[in-house]
Amino acid sequence: MLFIGFVAFYSSIAGSDAGVAHIAHLGGMLVGLVYLKGRDYLGRYQVHQQQRKRAELRKQFEIYYPELRRRIEDEKKKGPTIH
């Protein structure tokens, strides 16, 4: 893939093969790459946004209910209880 991209780029600079739009082929390769890899980045971005919103809500919860937050943390530290 890289070799074909290099040949297309070199051909666009050298001006060989009249009638072939090498820049258009390079653009098509770039659009294909963004299409194939873009889904991964979009998924990562959405996960990042969700984590950021949760962190903001957690901060807001700590501001309004600090004593409840401390109690929850203390319960986690105690471990499981046997009934």
pLDDT tens track for 26-82: 888 888 888 888 777 888 888 999 999 988 887 777 666 777 777 878 888 876 666
pTM, whole model, 2 decimals? 0.41
- Tracing tokens 């986690």 back to the chain, one arrives at 76
The answer to whether position 32 is within a domain reads yes
How many whole angstroms separate alpha carbon 36 and alpha carbon 29?
Answer: 11
Query: Which letter does DSSP use for residue 16 in this model?
Result: -
Domain with 24, as residue range(s), is 2-77
How many whole angstroms separate alpha carbon 64 and alpha carbon 50?
Answer: 21
- For residue 81, give both structure tokens: 């209880």
The answer to whether position 83 is within a domain reads no
- For residue 31, give both structure tokens: 């659009």
pLDDT at 83: 61
pLDDT at 17: 63
- For residue 52, give both structure tokens: 């950021």
The answer to whether position 29 is within a domain reads yes
